[in-house]
Amino acid sequence: MSVTQVAAYAAPAAKAPLERVTVPRRPVGEHDVLIDIKYAGICHSDIHQARDGWGEGIFPMVPGHEIAGVVAEVGPGVTKFAVGDRVGVGCFVDSCRECEYCLRGQEQYCVQGMTGTYNALDKNGEPTYGGYSTHVVVDENYTVRIPEGLALDVAAPLLCAGITLYSPLKHWGAGPGKKVAIVGLGGLGHMGVKIAHALGAEVTVLSQSLRKKEDGLRLGASHYYATNDRATFEELAGTFDLIVSTVSAPLGLDSYLALLKVDGALVNVGAPEEPVELNLFSVIGGRKTLAGSMIGGIAETQEMLDFCAEHGLGSEIELIAADRINEAYERVLASDVRYRFVIDTSTI
Ligand code: NAP
Ligand code: ZN
């Protein structure tokens, strides 16, 4: 079989608006599945990369690493999926498969570097193109199953936003008896609230203002505070076992570290384009941990999808046609999203 051209939306150059293009998809190989993409979420990481905020972007760039669709064709060696299966693809589509992290199911920390779903080069040196597209060809080992109980549109954002919060919440023990704060109620943050609540933790939202308070409480938070009010930091000093920050902009970490109990952890998943400031006395006193976390492995992503299906946790989405992607980007940058834009890829 030969390379197929498929429709997609791409940023032709850094900071240029996205426009409709065609891109090549490789022939369906021995272990590949061809996915008919139904929905693709818009992650803030798409915007950082399409605008070259993290540097060294590969253009033209087709973003999209929150992919939900249906298997349309399988390679002869495929054993995990059949035509018609509901599947998802997240932030990476390959890794070395041999290092200690790949063998442990932590492919996102592969020592060779995982192959990103877009803005990366595959093993043949060809650029990868992401989910703002009608079809994608992916190795079955980097494809996950979307359980029947989850609609594909609200499942799409789980492939990045869901797993990025599920993994650290599990790793740092969010559960009954634990006080967990989620900083930033956006795409990642709102999944953090839902998942931490479902895990049994007592959840607090720390948002810039009280504008989204009703939503936060409905999603599963017990408390909601505005970080633009200094009194919040006085009232909550020494309160939390775990804080997960999803903020996309540089954030002064010292005032958040002060909200932790002794031995508490602040886990940062936000990926701002500039460095942040830190006074190390903020972690010395109270034996505190400042950590980071990046998405999750394939097996853990499947576990997260099964957990979300069991607990009825989809993303809160605003479904858009592809010609509204550029407008959606502006709204995400203005924190004006409730809580994930999802592209209906049939409009591409
Ligand atoms: P998002 O939907 O834009 O949410 C980010 C939230 O951060 C906003 O809704 C806002 O919440 C808060 N915020 C924004 N600017 C702020 C500022 N200047 N000060 C304080 N708070 C601010 O973005 P997202 O898709 O959730 O992604 C969030 C970040 O995580 C991005 O940097 C993204 O690249 C990164 N990310 C990391 C991983 C990983 O594996 N570690 C995975 C995916 C994404 P409020 O309105 O509630 O204040
Ligand atoms: Zn993402």
Instruction: Locate 151 and state its tokens.
Output: 């609609």
Mutate to test the pocket of ligand 1, among 160, 335, 339, 341 (most ligand atoms within 8 A of CB): 335
Give residue ranges with CB within 6 A of ligand 1. 43-45, 48, 160, 164, 184-189, 207-208, 246-249, 251, 269-272, 293-295, 332, 335, 337
Which ligand 1 atom minimizes the distance to the CA of 269?
A: 41
User: What digits encode the pLDDT tens for the residues 289-313?
Assistant: 999 999 999 999 999 999 999 999 9
Give 43 Cα–ligand 2 centroid separation in angstroms: 5
Query: Rounded to the nearest whole angstrom, what is the distance from the C-alpha of residue 282 to the centroid of ligand 1?
Result: 23
Which ipTM did the prediction report?
0.99
The minimum-distance atom of ligand 1 relative to the CA of 340 is: 2
In whole angstroms, what is the distance from residue 45 CA to residue 65 CA? 9
Amino acid identity, position 250: P
Mean of pLDDT values over 310-317: 98
Instruction: Tell me the pTM.
Output: 0.98
Chain length of the chain = 348
Closest ligand (CA of 89): 2
| Average pLDDT across the chain, whole number | 97
Let me know: does 313 contact 157? Beta carbons within 8 Å. no
Indicate whether 2 pLDDT > 70: no
Q: Ligand 1: which of 163, 246, 293, 318 to mutate, most ligand atoms within 8 Å of CB?
A: 246
Q: What is the mean pLDDT of residues 18-26?
A: 97
**Closest-approaching ligand to the CA atom of 90:** 2
Q: What is the pLDDT of residue 188?
A: 98
Q: Is residue 235 within 8 Å of 229, Cβ to Cβ?
A: no
Contact residues for 93 (Cβ-Cβ < 8 A; gap 6+): 115, 116, 117, 122, 128, 138, 139, 142
What is the DSSP pairing of strand 4-10 with strand 240-245? Answer: unpaired
pLDDT at 22 over 70: yes
Shortest-distance Cα residue to atom 18 of ligand 1: 249
Ligand with minimal distance to 47 CA: 1
Q: In Å, how far are 127, 138, 146, 321 from 26, measured between CA atoms?
A: 11, 9, 24, 26
Alpha carbon nearest to ligand 1 atom 9, residue: 186
In tens, the pLDDT along 55-73 reads 889 999 999 999 999 999 9
Ligand nearest to the CA of 213: 1
Once rounded to an integer, what is the mean pLDDT over residues 6-30? 97
Q: Which atom of ligand 1 is nearest to the CA of 47?
A: 34
Reduced 3-state DSSP string for the chain: CCCEEEEEEEECCCCCCCEEEEEEECCCCCCEEEEEEEEEECCHHHHHHHCCCCCCCCCCECCCCCEEEEEEEECCCCCCCCCCCEEEECCEEECCCCCHHHHCCCHHHCCCCCEECCCCECCCCCECCCCCECEEEEEHHHCEECCCCCCHHHHHHHHCHHHHHHHHHHHCCCCCCCEEEEECCCHHHHHHHHHHHHCCCEEEEEECCCCCHHHHHHHCCCEEEECCCHHHHHHCCCCEEEEEECCCCCCCHHHHHCCEEEEEEEEECCCCCCCCCCCCHHHHCCCCEEEECCCCCHHHHHHHHHHHHHHCCCCCEEEECHHHHHHHHHHHHCCCCCCEEEEEHHHC
Per-residue pLDDT, 56: 87
Residue 250 main-chain phi, psi, to 5 deg: -60, 135
